[in-house]
Amino acid sequence: MKTKPFNSFELAQMQFDRVSEQLGLDAATRELLRWPLREYSFAIPVRLDDGTMKVFRGFRVQHNDARGPCKGGIRFHPMETLDTVRALSMWMTWKCAVVDIPLGGAKGGVICDPHNLSQREQEQICRGFVRQISRNVGPAVDVPAPDVMTSAQHMLWMLDEFEILEGAKSPGFITGKPVGMGGSLGRKEATGFGVVFTLREALKELGIRLQDTRACVQGFGNVAQYAIRLYQQIGGTVLAVSCWDQEDQEAHTFRKQAGIDLDELLAITDQFGGIDKAKASDLGYDVLPGEAWLEQDVDILIPAALESQITADNVGKISTKVKIIAEGANGPTEPQADATVNDRDIFVIPDLLANAGGVTCSYFEQVQSNMNYYWVKDEVLGKLDVQMTSAYIAVSNLARKEKLSMRDAAYAIAVRRVAQACRDRGWI
């Protein structure tokens, strides 16, 4: 029998409750941190290309800004909900705190499916989103960024609308902008590379040679593609990737025993990270069911698609060979599955640490945009490596010292820092 899927916000609150219990937080601090500080829900009316009007629903949630301006992506997704955005905003607060950048957490979303929208219609959604929220965001308040199904182009439309409303240039309003239009070099690589920086450290800690490992990746979008790029560059083999098939309305896994060829697959992948099934088959890939990525005899799993993908129902399918799960996606592992994974001694690099490279580089972009002075790519990626490695070491040291899982240790560091900032400001 299938278990009921978790509501992401309930999951985020459950994780927070566990940590606040371990840390012995007082009741007021718990109440403050288990809910967002501010939430905005609004309508975005758009005239479609066929002349009809359609009203889309948008959300922006600011979970906590005690450590600095809020930061977080805007997702376009047909299944978006306020609760998903709340959960993601809370995870952003912890993520910024665990990598120790001076920002708080936010998230945004629009219920829409870009697959079925023209470029012009998407532009109107972006501009409408900014018109609704412009008074409540800004370089010193809340700085949006791209996320699932939004790109540098979407960020530029949003920036343009914001600057029209402000009557002034304000490149620090948003990150993930195109390079040459205020974007940072290294941003598109940052999340995926960050996953691999932490993975490299975990392998060192476990005494495993990266060159001897094989991995499976769920998802083939921004995070997955760059995680695969760096992991392969430093000697790893990717056995399989999976992605969503828009036509079939289900996911597929693409496997090649000798290891996937990233460039070959990129050449047959659409802008949403969907691989052409027929062409992949012609290139010799086994086309398997969506969950097959989870069942392979590999050392490493990298879920890099969506939340709630490793569940009580499928966790038993993970091979006994798997030693590490590096969470590229946000919230990919549900709590019951997490407990099973811990019992099986699989080493989890939790999402708030593993995928924090994106927000770290966004912070670098904010700094560059505010200075109007841009760094070379090596400088950006070098600083990213230093920040991610330091965060990994801090989490791993605490985990060993206090005999915690990596997830609990990362949460403990993050929640302590945010709670302390709230106390220092006199909020509680």
Q: Is 109 in the site for ligand NAD (CB under 6 A)?
A: no
Residue 5 or 45 having the CB closest to ligand NAD: 5
Q: Which of 58, 104, 274, 350 binds ligand NAD (CB under 6 A)?
A: 274
Q: Is 422 in the site for ligand NAD (CB under 6 A)?
A: no
Q: In what order do the strands lie in the sheet with 250-255?
A: 286-289, 250-255, 237-245, 214-218, 300-303, 324-326, 347-349
The active-site residue out of 71, 95, 107, 188 is 107
Question: How near is the Cβ of 150 to ligand NAD at its closest, in Å?
Answer: 8
- Provide the residue type at 55 as one letter: V
Q: Which of 76, 244, 375, 411 binds ligand NAD (CB under 6 A)?
A: 244
How many residues of this chain interact with ligand NAD, rule: CB under 6 A?
Answer: 26
Task: Estimate the share of the chain in helix, then strand, then coil, as percent rounded to the nearest 5.
Answer: 50, 20, 30
Q: Is 329 in the site for ligand NAD (CB under 6 A)?
A: yes
Cα–Cα dist 105/97, whole Å = 9
Q: Which residues, in sequence order, are CB contacts of 232 under 8 Å at separation 6+?
A: 238, 259, 262
Cα–Cα dist 189/223, whole Å = 8
Sequence length of the chain is: 428
- 107 catalytic? Reply is yes
The gap between the terminal CA atoms of the chain, to the nearest Å, is: 45
Question: How near is the Cβ of 334 to ligand NAD at its closest, in Å?
Answer: 14
Residue 243 or 419 having the CB closest to ligand NAD: 243
Binding mask 88-107 for ligand NAD (x = CB under 6 A): --------------------
Closest CA to 149 of 41, 228, 225, 73: 73
Q: Is 122 in the site for ligand NAD (CB under 6 A)?
A: no
Q: Is 191 in the site for ligand NAD (CB under 6 A)?
A: yes
Binding mask 47-66 for ligand NAD (x = CB under 6 A): --------------------
Q: In what order do the strands lie in the sheet with 53-64?
A: 38-47, 53-64, 104-111, 70-77, 142-146
Interface with ligand NAD by CB under 6 A: which residues? 147-149, 191, 218-224, 242-244, 251, 273-274, 290, 304-306, 328-330, 355, 358
Residues serving a catalytic function are 107
